[in-house]
Amino acid sequence: MSIDMMMSSSEISLAKSSLLYGSEKLRMKGLETYGTETMSPMSTVTTSSVEVREVGKGIIVDQLKHVEVSSEKQLADVLDLTMAGPEARRKLMGTSAALVRSRKSLLEVLDSFMKAFTTKNGWRYAELWSSAKECTDDRNAVLEMSHSIVTGDEVGLRKFSNYSRQLFIVDKECMPGRIWRTGSVEWMGCATDSRSSTRADMAFRSGIVSGFGVPVILGAEVVAVMCFFDNQHHSYDAKSIHIASQCISSLTTAWQATNPRRESANFPAAAA
């Protein structure tokens, strides 16, 4: 008797999800049963923590305890693959799909990337900016911080983060706003230059030296801006910009494929 004959529609959906995360044998079974289109985004991702057992009329997921941790670690492991060829980029897409499927919101997805990137790539502070909910300007976009990550116990970076959480940024006056308006990446070789940033004085007092920012785009819309800073000097870092841009693009593509009806993202303001 086939799996479909044994199971209700909800059980089939659950079984498909479990097969996406299962062992090589389970994933190949999924390919045979549900077709390559369903399985292909996840074909490069495996985790031994998922156990599926047959009970009564169907198949149920027994454990998904370590899928979240595994996917985040896998993302950190494949960051540098964005510099490699097509096969490596397919692996990145597979890992992105796994991460998206284990998260409830795009903010959680981006949080995982921020943690992975700041841990591995030498940029110890990351922040995410999105459209402000409680502050509007008829002529300009107004942004507020949605989330931030500080790697390590860096007092200066935390000071800069806490200060930034209280701000509303109007486009053009600071890097997040300019990226929001243009949809382009921006490099900031000197974060203490008051001509390019309204946070220059706080950057100086916090020891912030260099930074760059990348747009988060869903469809054709910029829905957030992710910025990275460090208290060490960085020469123009094309590799980090490329990795961040490609990984964010991979994650948003996977998010749209998994959530086709969500045309925009809702990011809550960061807690002060």
Find all residues with CB under 8 Å of 59, minimum gap 6, and list them.
Answer: 3, 6, 7, 11, 14, 15, 18, 52, 53
Span of 25-34, 109-118, 179-188, 261-270 with lowest mean pLDDT? 25-34
The domain ranges of the chain are 3-63, 67-258
How far apart, in whole angstroms, are the C-alpha atoms of residue 197 and residue 234? 18
What is the pLDDT at residue 158?
Answer: 93
Mean pLDDT of 109-137: 86
The pLDDT > 90 percentage for the chain reads 35
What does the pLDDT average to over 125-134? 89
Q: Is the model's pTM score more than 0.75?
A: no
Cβ–Cβ under 8 Å, residues 32 and 39: no
Distance CA 64, CA 52 (A): 10
Three-state SS string over 147-185 comes to EEEECCCCHHHHHHHHHHCCCCEECCCCHHHHHHHHCCC
- CATH architecture label of 67-258: 2-Layer Sandwich (3.30)
Give me the pLDDT at residue 104, please: 85
- Average model confidence (pLDDT) across the chain: 72
pLDDT at 65: 32
Residues 264 and 239: their CA atoms lie apart, in Å, by 29
Residue closest to 239 by CA, chosen among 78, 79, 76, 77: 79
Residue-level pLDDT at 268: 58
